[in-house]
């Protein structure tokens, strides 16, 4: 089994990466491979809502000059994924938001019943808002989300300070182990997914 972790921080080896690496190590102990992809330092165009991806081949985004389509295909092929972001003004980093908008608009139909989670990092506050922002994408993608002892948030300002947040680091390690357990349980069960209904769309303004 394989997990892809997305680093939404502009700092390639900063606190968000340290947290994702700790989760990857726990998954490795469970026999699950992990790849961490750096997104936060890239120049990404935001979603324009053109809906080209709804009718293009392989549902790829119309913007082909960055890594979004490449990463989308990796996430579709993976058994699950982790979203990681620092907290900027009570939300995810700007680049991470652009990435998630385009990723889920083009690919959420491929993520149904995958296992995924998020983790937010901050110096002091705003992590729950950032985590919930990422979790909204996961929930609307009908993704299976592992539980842990607390919200998957870790605190630290300067590089490496997250390692001093013992509870936060323990929480994300437990989240990773829960993720591994769900993946293995799904593999062992081999049950068919629930029957899908044709979606009903209701517009309140007519």
**Domain range summary for the chain, segments of one domain joined by +:** 2-189
Crossing angle for the helix pair 15-29 and 166-189, to the nearest 10 degrees: 40
| pLDDT, tens digit, 9 for 90 and up, residues 23-71 | 999 999 999 999 999 999 999 999 999 999 999 999 999 999 999 999 9
SS3 state of residue 87: coil
CA 8 to chain centre: 9
Cβ pair 116, 103 in contact under 8 A: no
Cβ pair 95, 40 in contact under 8 A: yes
Opening angle at CA 127, ends 33 and 146, nearest 5 = 40
Instruction: Determine the Cα–Cα distance for residues 108 and 101; give it in Å rounded to an integer.
Output: 10
Which residues are paired to 154 by β-bridges?
Answer: 121
Q: Which pLDDT score, from 0 to 100, does residue 191 have?
A: 84
SS3 state of residue 54: helix
- Range 2-189 has CATH code 3.40.50.360: yes
pTM higher than 0.85: yes
| pLDDT, tens digit, 9 for 90 and up, residues 76-126 | 999 999 999 999 999 999 999 999 999 999 999 999 999 999 999 999 999
């Amino acid at each position: 089994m394989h997990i892809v972790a997305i680093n939404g921080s502009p700092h390639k080896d900063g606190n968000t990466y340290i947290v994702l690496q700790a989760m990857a190590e726990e998954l490795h102990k469970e026999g699950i491979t992990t790849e961490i992809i750096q997104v936060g330092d890239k120049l990404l165009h935001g979603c324009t809502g053109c809906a080209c991806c709804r009718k293009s081949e392989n549902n790829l985004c119309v913007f082909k000059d960055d890594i979004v389509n490449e990463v989308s295909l990796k996430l579709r092929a993976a058994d699950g994924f982790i979203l990681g972001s620092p907290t900027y003004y009570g939300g995810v980093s700007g680049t991470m938001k652009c990435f998630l908008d385009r990723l889920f608009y083009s690919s959420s139909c491929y993520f149904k019943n995958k296992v995924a989670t998020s983790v937010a990092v901050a110096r002091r506050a705003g992590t729950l808002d950032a985590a919930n922002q990422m979790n909204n994408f996961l929930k609307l993608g009908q993704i299976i989300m592992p539980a842990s002892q607390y919200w998957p948030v870790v605190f630290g300002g300067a590089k490496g300070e997250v390692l001093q947040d013992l509870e936060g680091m323990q929480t994300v390690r437990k989240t990773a182990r829960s993720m591994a357990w769900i993946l293995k349980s799904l593999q062992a069960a081999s049950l068919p997914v629930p029957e899908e209904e044709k979606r009903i769309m209701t517009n309140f303004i007519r």
